[in-house]
Structure 1
Amino acid sequence: MEKQPVVYLLASGRNGTLYVGVTSDLICRIWQHRNHVVPGFTRRHGVTQLVWYELHGTMEAAITREKQLKKWNRAWKVRLIEESNPYWRDLWFTIMG
């Protein structure tokens, strides 16, 4: 998954605080969130669990999708997560192999 544009959703727990992000290196970025490397929202709110992600062909497409999801209400984001991850499993372990 190296240098692959990705939009992702993190959560502090099931039905907890949500965060929408975009990156070209999902493993590195999620590691940064999990280890509180970068100060900001996710560190302040303990948002470290990867609960959803979506691959894109270009960074432009990923950024467009991220902006779209940031405008969504919480119920829509929860539904999106639960369509593919109904138990809110932390997908970090899946992407790490």
Structure 2
Amino acid sequence: MYFVYVLKCSDKTYYTGITSNLDKRLNEHQSGKYFGSYTFSRRPIHLVYYAAFTDVNRAIEAEKKIKKWSKAKKEALINNEFDKLPNLAKKKFK
């Protein structure tokens, strides 16, 4: 099983990652195991979203997609506001 997850950091930013052991990885983020990582100086972190995948390639694809999303689109996902996702994906032209 593989997990794509989104963390909310103390500075109100989001971090998206992938792991095969969600509990272990969350503990690593929270404890600051990796000095210099994105979440190290933004602790405490909170898990706000995760999805499970049986296929690692699908999980990697989902992680890459979510990482490119705007903060507003990530928040719609986190809040289960799936109907908002298509609109948030549209580019706005002036």
Relative to the length of structure 1, the TM-score reads: 0.76
Q: 2:56 aligns with which of 50, 55, 59?
A: 59
Matched residue, 1:92 = none
Percentage identity across aligned positions? 32
User: Deviation of residue 70 (structure 1)?
Assistant: 0.8
Aligned partner (choices 33, 40, 53) of residue 37 of structure 1 = 33
> Are 2:73 and 1:76 equivalent residues in the alignment?
yes
Q: Deviations over 1:40-63 (max 9, x none)?
A: 110122252111000011111111
Q: Report runs of 4+ in structure 1 exceeding 2 Å deviation.
A: none
Which one of 15, 35, 43 corresponds to residue 19 of structure 1?
15
Q: Distance in 1 between matches of 2:45 and 2:30?
A: 5
Per the TM alignment, residue 78 of structure 1 is displaced from its structure 2 partner at its CA by 0.5
Q: Deviations over 1:6-54 (max 9, x none)?
A: 00000025x8110000001111100101111112110122252111000
Aligned to 1:89: none
Paired residue total? 80
Q: Which has the larger radius of gyration?
A: 2
Q: Name the SS of the counterpart of 2:39 in structure 1.
A: helix
d(CA) in 2 for partners of 1:69, 1:12: 16
TM-score between both structures, scaled by the size of structure 2: 0.78
Root mean square deviation, CA, Å: 1.7
Q: 1:83 aligns to what SS in structure 2?
A: coil
Unaligned residue ranges in structure 1 (runs of 5+): 85-97
Structure 1 counterpart of 2:47: 50
The one-letter amino acid of 1:66's match is: E
